Amino acid sequence: MSVVAEAASAREAEQRCRIVATAERLFREIGFQKTTVADIARALRMSPANVYRFFGSKSEIHVAVARQLMGEVEAAAQRIAAGPGTASERLRALVRCNEAMNADRYLADRKMHEMVEAALDEHWPMIDEHIDRVDAVVQFLVASGMESGEFAKGDPELAAKLVHTALIRFCHPRLMVECADRPEPTSEQMIDFCLAALRAGVSR
């Protein structure tokens, strides 16, 4: 790729990032459904046609915003998984972080929660992709614990899916809302439960 092409590609990536960041801000301010491409263009001081140069439709902008938010959660999980501490300590930190980040993004801000509801109801593909990525991080931690002898030997893929399923109400935005008035079990209690199961061993 030539220097000119690289510069053009970098400018395009930067512009896409600006559009996504502006869209996210407007989603929080006026709502996911109410925000139009014209609103985004106006905030960026460009024409709607210019926005459509980078995104083919409003739905593509929705997906890009959701992908960015989920990507931030995934990146945080990966940093924790690759960081210091025992497998148990890292798993606990991962769940705490995931719960806090999702609460901040989707529960504290009801307008953003509208987007999550739409993503779930309309089965946006990145939802399954996000779940798979988080499963992979949990599987890495479980395998690490099995290798070190911290957890009983077994199938790390199955164990990771069981752990993720057991803890789903603390990271799934819709379940977090529905279970908000049910204080127990707490995430700490469920983490303890899962760690005890991992130490005891999981069989098919």
Tens digits of residue pLDDT in 129-139: 888 999 999 99
89 & 181 share domain: yes
Parts of the chain with a pLDDT under 70:
1-8, 108, 202-204
87 & 170 share domain: yes
Residue matched to tokens 């400018």: 11
Domain total in the chain: 2
147 & 191 share domain: yes
pTM here is 0.82
| CB 121, CB 33: distance < 8 Å | no
**What does the alpha-carbon distance between residue 127 and residue 120 come to, in Å, rounded to a whole number?**
7
pLDDT at 103: 81
pLDDT at 3: 55
Burial of residue 1, with CB atoms counted within 10 A of its CB: 0-12 exposed, 13-18 middle, 19 or more buried: exposed
- Please give the single-letter amino acid code of residue 158: L
CATH number at residue 133: 1.10.357.10
CATH number at residue 15: 1.10.10.60
50 & 70 share domain: no
Q: How far is CA 39 from CA 7, 46, 66, 81, 151, in A?
A: 28, 10, 18, 39, 52
pLDDT at 38: 95
Strands (E), the chain: none
